[in-house]
Every structure is written in C-alpha cells, then in structure tokens.
C-alpha cells in the first residue's frame, strides 16, 4: 500500500530548492512522462526500492552499467578491498594496466587505450584525437545519436549537406559547431554525398552502431560497410561510440556483431563506458597504436584527468569484466532479453496494438509503431501519449523502465525468468487498456 505521505514527492520538493530541476541529469526528472521521480534508497540484484519502500524490477540498470545486477558479490569484494587500499592516488597503479589489458583482449580493434572518467570525456577526446591525427577539422555525426554533452557534439542538422550543424543547447556558440556535419542515420546516399563534397576535410565520423538514444535503432549492414569504406577512402577515422553497446550487446561489443557480417570490419577508434566500469565513473577510448601515440605525453594531442584510472573504479570494472567473460554468460543474458522482447511483442499483437521491438545481448528497445524505425525522423513518430500511459502503468505494477520514449532498456544477469514473466504479464494488462477501440 502507498503511504499517506509520498516520500518521493517530499524529496523532490526538497531537491528542487538546491538542484536545478531537482535532478543531476535531466532524464531523471520525469519531465517527458509526467509524475514524480522515484528516489532510490537501495538496490540489490535486479531490483531497487524507492523512498516509500516500493520494490521495482529495474530495467535501466544505471542506464546500462549494471550488467551483473546490483551488488554482485565478486564486484563488492573487489571494490571493498580496493577502498581499503586508497580512494585515489593521482599516480599510476598496476590495476590500470590489468583493466586496459582486459578490455583490449575483448576488443581487438584497439591496440592501446586511455582510461577516463565519463563517456562524455571519452567521446570529446576521441574527436580531438581524430582531428589531431589527421590534421583536419570536420566531423560527421548522425541525427539521434548522442555522444555526450561536449559542445561540438550538441548539435542538430543544418539545412543541407553544404552547411553544418546548429547548436541544440544554449551556451554553445554557432562557431563551435561549424565543423560538425549532422547526417541522417542509415542514409547511404546522403553519407556518400557528404564525403563527395567534404571528404578531404573530414577528420572523423562518429556513430553509435546501435543508437540507444533513439531507444534501439541498428545501423544497417550496408550503411556500416559504407561508413568504413568511405572513411578509408578519404583518410578519415571511423569512431565507434560503444559507451552503451560496449560489452553489453556482446562480449566483443557491437563491432564484433558487425564483423560477423562484414569480413575484416573494425573501427579506427572506439569509445567505451558503462559496463567496463561496472557502475563506477569510468570510461575509455582506444585505437591503433599509431593513432593513440598522438596523445600526450607522447604526442601533441593533450588530455588529462585527476581521477582517470581511479583505483576503486578500476577494481569495479575489472571484476565485472571477469564475470561477464565466463562461459555461457552472454548466451543466458541474450536468452532472457529475447524472452522479454518476444513476450512484449506477442502481448501487444494479441490486442492489435502497433508495437515493434528489437534487442541484442542485454540491450533492448521498443516502439509504439507497427515497424522498427531506421532513423530519428521515423523514431519521432512513435506514440508518446500511449508510451506515457504504458510507463506509468508499469511503474504502478512495480516495473521500472526508462522514463523517456527514446531511451533503450537493459536486462541484467540477475533478472530471472519469473521477473520477465511478471513484466510481460504487467504489460499485457496495460496493452488491453491501450488497444485501439
């Protein structure tokens, strides 16, 4: 039963007095779906509990990192041991080497990497490195892909291929994004035209291979192939943003999925975060030795960070990666994710509700559309009104999905078949209410 006083509401009122919007990251504010955010008191395994003591099946998992679930014993042990040895040193540790070696063994396109503290930091520096390594200024990104809140990447499409992007945030001067081109995701013809017009000036192309900030939109195989071919042809660097997909959609990340369909495929630079930190602030970017050696202190491209390679964060990440590479881990994770997605699709189909969904590994997404979208324009046609009703219906039944129509969801190893069945049953009740009359 709900308490007489909703502690989530009182906490939100208090938070608004000292934190802009009451939250430290905008999507947490529930602005898109309405209502009051849930203030998490604790989490364990596949669940978390809010300020009222209400338990939820958690399908955001800290937006992806908690692939093992919350409070995994091996991870807790590693973090507790590391914490007793020191929180931060500002000097090298052996564990940084161990984590780098572990990541490189999983993602062979990288020969060297640099550890940082956030995906934004990693993406921002990968762009700087691409420019420094090529001596060029222009960057291609795609509408609907999010690469962190660095100024040069907070940009929307311009009016045509001969022009460049426009800022999407106040405080970003137009001249800061004048070298950023924004193209339509999965549009091969537009991609080819962009390189034909500007190929000699393009330093790099940055892309989410599966766009989790459009919920879940895959880059087509042909589009991915042309990205690789055109970057190679024109001397630009292909930058794979695997902050969300890295070690989440497969042990070898999304690039390993595409390599099975495009022989020899690999990006020049890879940006990673989330899973490799296991829930701690940790990210990385890496690539071929010849490119990475352009970084200071070896080369002219500067990057630094006080907390980079933090000893507690590296312990958390290393313990997580050692767990997920155990035999059968991804087979089981994928099975559960497919069961969830198939269950939701079948439940929606039974009610005649327009619904499409997709998944890979432990990442999934769905749309209130009859077919899966291929780009941002198509994603925007999803039924936001019905989604809000679905979100709150699930929330009332103890199921927590992303409080935004355009965000992916995540299944963890801790989720059970019973959790999946309970989620599908809850959705089925709501689909009956949402079905076309």
pLDDT digits (tens, 9 = 90+) for 224-243: 999 999 999 999 999 999 99
Pairing status of strand 269-272 against strand 237-242: parallel
Q: Is 336 a catalytic residue?
A: no
Question: Which position has the higher pLDDT, 168 or 165?
Answer: 168
7 CB-side CA count, 13 A: 11
Amino acid 334: pLDDT: 98
Write the burial class of residue 390 (CB in 10 Å: 0-12 exposed, 13-18 middle, 19+ buried).
buried
Number of H helices, E strands in the chain: 13, 18
Mean pLDDT on 190-208: 97
406 labelled catalytic: no
Q: What pLDDT sits at residue 1? A: 42
Q: What's the rounded mean pLDDT across residues 238-265?
A: 98
Supply the pLDDT for residue 4: 59
> Does the pLDDT at position 160 exceed 60?
no
- Kindly name the residue from 50, 141, 185, 274 that is annotated as catalytic: 274
Task: Name the pLDDT band for 159 (thresholds 50, 70, 90).
Answer: very low
Mean pLDDT, rounded, for 59-78: 98
Average pLDDT, integer, range 103-113: 98
Q: Is the pLDDT of residue 66 over 70?
A: yes
Q: Select which of 59, 146, 185, 240 is catalytic.
A: 146
Each residue of 314-344: b (16+ CB within 10 Å) or e? bbbbbbbbebbeeeebbeebbebbbbbbebb
Instruction: Give the up-direction half-sphere exposure of residue 370: CA atoms within 13 A in the CB hemisphere.
Output: 1
369 CB-contact burial (10 Å; exposed 0-12 / middle 13-18 / buried 19+) = middle
Strands (E), 230-351: 237-242, 269-272, 283-287
**Phi and psi at residue 326, in whole multiples of 5°?**
-70, 145
- Is there a catalytic annotation at residue 241? yes
CA dihedral 322, 218, 48, 314 (to 10 degrees): 30
Catalytic position from the list 50, 58, 241, 419: 241
pLDDT, mean over the chain: 95
Q: In this structure, are residues 313 and 277 in contact, taking their beta carbons and an 8 Å threshold?
A: yes
For residue 223, the surrounding DSSP H or E stretch is: helix 221-234
pLDDT at 53: 97
Confidence of residue 164 (pLDDT cuts 50, 70, 90): low
Higher per-residue confidence, 151 vs 359: 359
CB 430 within 8 A of CB 390: yes
The pTM is what?
A: 0.95
Q: Give dist(CA 259, CA 225) in Å, integer.
A: 10
Which residues are bridge partners to 275 per DSSP? none
DSSP E strand boundaries for 224-355 = 237-242, 269-272, 283-287
Torsion of CA 385, 153, 273, 85, to 10 degrees: -120
């Amino acid at each position: 039963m709900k308490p007489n006083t909703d502690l989530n509401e009182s906490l939100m009122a208090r938070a608004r007095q000292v934190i802009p919007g009451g939250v430290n990251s905008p999507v947490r504010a529930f602005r898109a779906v309405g209502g009051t955010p849930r203030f998490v008191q604790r989490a364990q395994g596949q669940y978390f509990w809010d300020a009222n003591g209400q338990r939820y099946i958690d399908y955001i998992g800290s937006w992806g990192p908690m692939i093992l679930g919350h409070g995994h014993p091996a991870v807790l042990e590693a973090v507790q041991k590391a914490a007793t040895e020191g929180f931060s040193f500002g000097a090298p540790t052996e564990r940084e080497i161990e984590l780098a070696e572990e990541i490189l063994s999983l993602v062979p396109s990288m020969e060297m990497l640099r550890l940082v503290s956030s995906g934004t930091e990693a993406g921002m520096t990968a762009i700087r490195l691409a420019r420094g390594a090529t001596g060029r200024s222009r960057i291609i990104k795609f509408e609907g892909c999010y690469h962190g809140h660095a100024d040069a990447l907070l940009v929307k499409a311009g009016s045509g291929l001969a022009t460049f992007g426009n800022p999407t945030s106040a405080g970003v001067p137009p001249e800061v994004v004048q070298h950023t081109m924004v193209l339509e995701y999965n549009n091969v013809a537009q991609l080819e035209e962009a390189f034909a017009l500007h190929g000699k000036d393009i330093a790099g192309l940055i892309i989410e291979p599966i766009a989790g900030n459009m919920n879940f939109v895959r880059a087509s195989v042909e589009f991915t192939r042309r990205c690789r071919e055109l970057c190679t042809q024109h001397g630009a660097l292909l930058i794979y943003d695997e902050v969300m997909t890295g070690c989440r959609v497969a042990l070898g990340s999304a690039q390993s999925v595409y390599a099975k369909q495009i022989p020899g495929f690999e990006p020049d630079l890879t940006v990673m975060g989330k899973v490799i930190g296991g829930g701690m602030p940790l990210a990385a970017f890496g690539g071929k030795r010849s490119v990475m050696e352009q970084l200071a202190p070896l080369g002219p491209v500067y990057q630094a960070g006080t907390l980079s390679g933090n000893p507690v964060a590296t312990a958390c990440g290393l313990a997580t990666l050692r767990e997920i590479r155990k035999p059968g881990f991804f087979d089981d994770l994928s099975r559960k994710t497919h069961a969830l997605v198939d269950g939701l699709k079948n439940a929606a189909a039974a009610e005649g509700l327009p619904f499409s969904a997709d998944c890979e590994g432990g990442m999934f997404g769905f749309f209130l559309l009859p077919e899966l979208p291929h780009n941002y324009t198509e994603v925007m046609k999803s039924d936001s009104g019905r989604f809000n009703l679905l979100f709150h219906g699930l929330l009332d039944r103890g199921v927590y999905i992303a409080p935004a129509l355009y965000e992916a969801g995540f299944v963890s190893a801790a989720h059970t078949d019973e959790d999946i069945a309970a989620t599908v049953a809850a959705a089925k009740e709501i689909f009956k209410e949402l079905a076309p009359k």
